[in-house]
Amino acid sequence: MPESLAPLALLRGETLPPLRFRDEPVDRDRATVRELTTATGFFSSEEVAVAVELIDARLVQGLASGYRFLFADGDGRLDGYVCYGPIPLTKSSFDLYWIAVRPGAQQAGLGRRLMEAAEAKARELGATAMYVETSSRPQYEPTRAFYRRLGYRSAAELPDFYGPGDGRVIFAKPLRRDS
């Protein structure tokens, strides 16, 4: 775990599960990310394929791909991961492309820990804001509530963006150096 996260979790009185955070994807992550994103039940097969494509892009192009990752490995498997990176043509805005947590590891603070770590890493890279998009469908209300709990605010809603009745909700959070 990044050292900067351990004291924060301990101050909150959290019990930290045995996890190892890493930021470099490896070849086996193609399969583990496919399995993890499928297991959540939230992502379509097309979305799962895109998640794997981002791993492929990073493995082939390295940091030039623009995709950065944090993987949370626990008990010999991938328990969660996040993918983020700078938004092309912006000076200091970052996108959160993916976050997924294994269903058995949800509700234990792993998603929060991944987001806090991604925000800290983005801040180190000069990010001043993080943007996240998600669906407006009722299935995604827990996801939207998660982002709101982390300090993200709805910045825009695009009705019917993904399809009829399935809008795009864009969240934003400033990433000040002192936050």
Question: In the chain, what are the domain boundaries?
Answer: 5-130
Q: What is the pLDDT of residue 17?
A: 52
Among residues 37, 36, 113, which one has the least CA distance to residue 70?
113
The token pair that represents 173 in the structure block: 């959070």
Q: What is the pLDDT of residue 74?
A: 80
Which amino acid, 173?
K
List pLDDT tens digits, range 14-61. 454 567 899 999 999 999 999 999 999 888 999 999 999 999 999 999
Q: Is residue 98 a contact partner of residue 85, using CB atoms and an 8 Å limit?
A: no
**pTM of the predicted model as reported, rounded to 2 decimal places:** 0.85
Q: What is the pLDDT of residue 178?
A: 58
Residue with more model confidence, 75 or 126: 126
Among residues 58, 59, 75, which one has the least CA distance to residue 67?
58
Residue 71 has pLDDT above 60, yes or no: yes
List pLDDT tens digits, range 33-44. 999 999 998 889
Q: What is the pLDDT of residue 132?
A: 98
Instruction: Give the fold, CATH level 3, of 5-130.
Output: Aminopeptidase (3.40.630)
- Mean pLDDT across 165-176: 95
Residues in a beta bridge with 98? 83
- Mean pLDDT across 124-133: 97
